[in-house]
Amino acid sequence: MSALPSVSSLAGPELVDFRRRLEARLEQAVSFADGSSGRRGRETLQAGGKRLRPLLVYLSSPLAGRGAPDLERGAAAVELVHMASLVHDDVLDRAALRRGLPTVWATHGDAVATATGDYLFARAFAVLAETGNAPASALLADCALALSRGEALQKLQARRPETTPAEYLARCTLKTGALFATACVLGARLGGASDPGTVAALHDYGRSLGLAFQVADDVLDCDGTPEATGKALGTDLIDGTPTLPLLLAARDDRVVAAALRHGVRPADVLGVLHRVGATGALEAARAEAYRHVRAAEAALERLGDDFDLPALGAVAHGVVNRDS
């Protein structure tokens, strides 16, 4: 189950209205150009998604600042960066499916997909520039750099079962934790929060939340269903991406280690994933995800009651209690 339904009930009709305005702003942003990149950008938007990162922008604002127009711009910019990074990731990973639909790369090839990702990045910064907030733009630029560093690190770690859990988490911090943290900091600042301790607490909450989300996502790749996740089971194993459950299993099972290092035939994927489960690696990885949930909750304890703490706490649990 996604984290969003339970949070929507906690945050009330204001969140529903915010999401409606967000979708309209995203549609406006991707429709800026009429060429191939613009059309592919609209297709990417229409494929849907949890919109978890823009939700964090909204929820990380002080309650009194949720009506600020810049909050919508920040939320849209964060989602556009996320969309852009996914399109680029699909090019690098040669991914055929995303959310159960053919990727831009699979349908249109390298050049169009790369240009589409570039277009979405450009639109993200154009939307955020409308705030006139230079520090916000600098924050998102630093985040985009972290995303690219994380993707490069993933390529360096590919097919290396000797990758350590610490190295894996460092990669996840760049690839996922950075954007979650940036979403929370943008929400705090654009919503009017200026206390450094408050902003730091939300940054730490977002980073821990991102790590919990990524570890849970990697478990789902081993133990989920294609209908729920929108991609083939064992995609990470096929690609040679060393995720935490695969790394933990490879320590105890030479077959898993060999499959991660040398590749695996499609017909053998489910058998190898069964071996992953038999080592206890999935349970250990889930425990690691919950460790980061607890770290996120600890960060929330540093915030005052001018924030929606119940909704932020619900997100922390929702990112691991899901099937997609």
Does residue 323 form part of some domain? no
Q: For residue 302, what are the contacts with CB-CB under 8 A and spacing of at least 6?
A: 197, 198, 200, 201
pLDDT value at residue 11: 65
CATH value at residue 249: 1.10.600.10
**C-beta separation of 212 from 315 below 8 A:** no
Does residue 116 form part of some domain? yes
Return the axis-axis angle of helices 134-157 and 165-172, rounded to nearest 10°.
Answer: 150
Helix, strand, coil distribution of the chain in percent, nearest 5: 75, 0, 25
Does residue 324 form part of some domain? no
For residue 159, give the nearest of 267, 76, 79, 236 by alpha carbon: 236
Q: What is the DSSP letter of 189?
A: H
pLDDT value at residue 35: 82
Q: For residue 180, what are the contacts with CB-CB under 8 A and spacing of at least 6?
A: 53, 56, 206, 207, 209, 210, 213
**C-beta separation of 21 from 280 below 8 A:** no
pLDDT value at residue 8: 63
pLDDT value at residue 201: 98
Distance CA 3, CA 1 (A): 7
pTM: 0.94
pLDDT value at residue 156: 96
**C-beta separation of 314 from 3 below 8 A:** yes
Does residue 148 form part of some domain? yes
Query: Which residues does the chain have with pLDDT short of 50?
Result: 1
Number of domains in the chain: 1
pLDDT value at residue 96: 87
The residue written with tokens 């006139």 in the block is 132
Note down the domain range covering 277: 4-318
